[in-house]
């Protein structure tokens, strides 16, 4: 089974304008394209509130299941929701219900919201939430507010995905350092923590945490960017991530729809790049077929309880 352990659904009702604006600024900086072009591409090729586009890309790539991660942007955007969190969860729920054999809903609720822990429980019961996502811009994973939510996740047996790795401006990157999950993972040994993006630039720190904590894992969402930046070096980096994090500790992820229009690393090609690693003698790096199978699905299936 191939599992994309980290994908999103974006759209005008799910994603606040403030985040889209920040992303457009970032997209312009890295692509040297004008803002109208980047904004148009985001709206035309990313927005998919009903999950149809995601499923079509998964079919093309041969991906069986995807974890869809809802993000609570409200406090980041500096406004309370134009559309309530409840309404947004209903939209996610409808999409996931439509493809209930393919999509699994994880969700972010900003822990600083009043009653955030209670909301997690409600999301489990009403909208089928199966994991919690901490998008830690402005809130440190060791904060007491987060601990209240972790307690609820321990009670409900929910995995906790924590964003790690530099954020785009104006969000602060400091709280996204993998090391801040060190203490929470000690304090909640019964909770499975996944360091999303494997810490990006702090990937050795993330891998080291996975190695030292039985309940800490990493995912490779947005690592397509590492491939794009240094394609020749990518097999060595992934090999090091596997070796430093430990067997069965690394989950395949995409951060879909990010980079879906970059042909070299779209969903189908991202899977193909990974599938081609065992036996690729030109890279000078060894992967076994078993390791790649574990990475593409087996590890997440087991650790996250996906059937």
For residue 3, give the H/E element and its range. Answer: strand 3-7
Q: Which residues contact 103 (CB under 8 A, 6 or more apart)?
A: 51, 54, 55, 65, 66, 67, 68, 95, 96
Q: Which of residues 169 and 276 has its CB atom nearest to Zn ion in the complex?
A: 169
Residues in the interface with Zn ion (CB under 5 A) total: 1
Q: Which of residues 182 and 255 has its CB atom nearest to Zn ion in the complex?
A: 255
Tokens of 287: 């992967």
Distance CA 195, CA 252 (A): 12
Q: Which of residues 255 and 291 has its CB atom nearest to Zn ion in the complex?
A: 255
Q: Which of residues 182 and 219 has its CB atom nearest to Zn ion in the complex?
A: 219
Q: From residue 21 to residue 60, what is the string marking binding to Zn ion with x (rule CB under 5 A)?
A: ----------------------------------------
Q: Which of residues 176 and 283 has its CB atom nearest to Zn ion in the complex?
A: 176
Q: Which residues contact 101 (CB under 8 A, 6 or more apart)?
A: none
Minimum CB–partner distance for residue 135 and Zn ion (Å): 8
Check residue 255 for interaction with Zn ion (CB under 5 A): yes
Check residue 4 for interaction with Zn ion (CB under 5 A): no
Within 10 angstroms of residue 298's Cβ, the number of other Cβ atoms is 19
CA 202 to chain centre: 16
Dihedral over alpha carbons 229, 219, 165, 14 (to 10 degrees): 100
- Residue in the shown chain whose Cβ atom is closest to Zn ion: 255
Stretch that binds Zn ion, among 133-141, 152-160, 251-259, 274-282 (CB under 5 A): 251-259
Residues near Zn ion (CB under 5 A): 255
């Amino acid at each position: 089974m191939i599992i994309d352990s980290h994908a999103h659904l974006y759209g005008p009702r799910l994603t606040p304008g403030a985040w889209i604006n920040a992303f457009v600024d970032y997209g312009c900086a890295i692509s040297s394209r004008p803002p109208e072009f980047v904004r148009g591409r985001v709206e035309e090729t990313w927005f998919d509130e009903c999950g149809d586009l995601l499923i079509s890309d998964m079919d093309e790539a041969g991906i069986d299941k995807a974890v869809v991660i809802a993000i609570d942007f409200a406090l980041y955007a500096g406004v309370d929701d134009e559309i309530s969190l409840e309404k947004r969860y209903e939209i996610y729920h409808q999409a996931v219900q439509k493809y209930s054999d393919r999509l699994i809903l994880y969700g972010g609720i900003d822990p600083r919201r009043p009653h955030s822990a209670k909301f997690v429980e409600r999301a489990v019961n009403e909208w089928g939430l199966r994991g919690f996502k901490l998008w830690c811009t402005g809130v440190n994973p060791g904060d007491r507010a987060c601990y209240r939510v972790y307690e609820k996740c321990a009670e409900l047996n929910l995995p906790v995905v924590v964003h790690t790795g530099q954020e785009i401006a104006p969000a602060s990157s400091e709280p996204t350092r993998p090391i801040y999950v060190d203490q929470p993972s000690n304090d909640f040994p019964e909770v499975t923590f996944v360091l999303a993006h494997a810490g990006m630039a702090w990937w050795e720190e993330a891998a080291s945490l996975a190695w030292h904590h039985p309940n800490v894992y990493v995912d490779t969402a947005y690592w397509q960017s590492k491939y794009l930046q240094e394609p020749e070096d990518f097999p060595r980096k992934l090999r090091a991530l596997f070796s430093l994090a430990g067997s069965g500790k690394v989950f395949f992820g995409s951060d879909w729809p990010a980079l879906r229009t970059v042909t070299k690393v779209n969903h189908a090609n991202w899977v193909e790049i990974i599938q081609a690693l065992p036996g690729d003698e030109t890279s000078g790096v060894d992967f076994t077929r078993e390791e790649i199978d574990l990475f593409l699905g087996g590890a997440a299936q087991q650790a996250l309880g996906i059937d």
